[in-house]
Amino acid sequence: MKILSFLVLLAALAAAARASHPGQEAFAQSVAAEFGVDAGEVLRWLGEARYRQEIIDLINRPAESKPWHSYRPIFLNERRIADGAAFLARHRALLERTEERFGVPSELIVAILGVETSYGANLGRHRVLDALVTLGFYHPPRQAFFSRELKQLFALAAEQRLDLAALKGSYAGAMGYGQFMPSSYRSYAVDADGDGRIDLWNSMPDVFASVANYLARHGWQRGEPVAVPAEALAGARDPGPLRLEANRRAKDLAALGFRSPQVAEDDPRPLNLVRLEGEEGPEYWLAFPNFYVITRYNRSALYAMAVYQLAQAILERDRTAP
């Protein structure tokens, strides 16, 4: 009898130790209905997940809130350029095959990995399950988005045989060398090495192909430019709020007083004007559709410009290497 009582006590203590999140039963049923994952299994994992205040703190102060002159040095520095050139050289053959298949330049693939994880040196220290539970249940400003990503995580774990207890990533729940969110992992990641699984931590063919496929599927135009510097002429007029998608023409921007010697005024390609806060005042760039494609990876003009400039710096370093 004493043994039975002790076992009951242990069970009660274990149950008390398990987390409970508001609306978790309905959430589990929704995962089961949408993705066929057992609701009891979802609840079991939710019971293992913990609210993390540091996740809320981090998402409330993203790097993209900085001005360009403070944001740029985070990614455009000697260490990241040198490491990127070395990474490009080390994986040149595989990157060239990936570029041929998807049309995305090797240096751009490398730059994205450089900005996201320092070429795999920093894959994230937060347990993905905790991050997405915290944001999906306790972050009202973007709760709907992260709740969907949490559902996708359960589906992804079942499909790719991932261990939710051990899975680490960013504070937002992004994973692997390229920091894919669960929905992007399921929609755009590629099994390029043909082993039957998509491994964004250990398989460089999968990593490179997945980043390139993501950009290609979002409209990357092979051989087309990303952005060129522009100048504001005397009397230039305010172009209005920045729209990331290229939806203007060179002649329209010229009429507002913004031109680039690299783009003819009768150029028919869609463009947009990007204004960045440089150390000595505003910087202006004419951005092509490929710039917008990079923002689909992270919806920030700062991010896209950092990726583009890092890619150019890596390419230049590679070309001049002895």
Is residue 230 included in any domain, yes or no?
no
- pLDDT at position 178: 98
Cα dist. 306→25, 247, 278 in Å?
Answer: 42, 22, 13
Q: Would you say 288 and 271 are in contact if contact means Cβ atoms under 8 Å apart?
A: yes
Domain at 160, CATH number: 1.10.8.350
CA 288 to chain centre: 20
Catalytic residue among 116, 149, 245, 283: 116
Q: Which residues on neighbouring strands pair with residue 282, listed in sequence order?
A: 277
Is residue 200 included in any domain, yes or no?
yes
Is residue 176 included in any domain, yes or no?
yes
CA 277 to chain centre: 23
- pLDDT at position 18: 63
CB atoms within 10 A of CB 160: 16
Q: Would you say 321 and 95 are in contact if contact means Cβ atoms under 8 Å apart?
A: no
Report pLDDT digits (tens) over 190-213.
999 999 999 999 999 999 999 999
Whether pTM > 0.85 for this model: the answer is yes
Is residue 299 included in any domain, yes or no?
no
- pLDDT at position 174: 97
Instruction: Show the domain range for 193.
Output: 53-59+123-217
Is residue 134 included in any domain, yes or no?
yes
On the CB side of 252, CA atoms within 13 Å amount to 14
Q: How far apart are CA 235 and CA 261, in angstroms?
A: 18
Q: Could you give the number of structural domains in the chain? A: 1
Is residue 75 included in any domain, yes or no?
no
- pLDDT at position 13: 37
Q: Is 116 a catalytic residue?
A: yes
Helix axes 128-138, 39-48, angle to 10 degrees: 100
Is residue 225 included in any domain, yes or no?
no
- pLDDT at position 246: 85
Is residue 210 included in any domain, yes or no?
yes
Per-residue model confidence as pLDDT tens for the chain (322 residues): 445 444 333 333 343 356 789 999 999 999 999 999 999 999 999 999 999 999 999 999 877 788 999 999 999 999 999 999 999 999 999 999 999 999 999 999 999 999 999 999 999 999 999 999 999 999 999 999 999 999 999 999 999 999 999 999 999 999 999 999 999 999 999 999 999 999 999 999 999 999 999 999 999 999 999 999 999 998 888 877 777 888 899 999 999 999 999 999 999 999 999 999 999 899 999 999 999 999 999 999 999 999 999 999 999 999 998 8
- pLDDT at position 177: 98
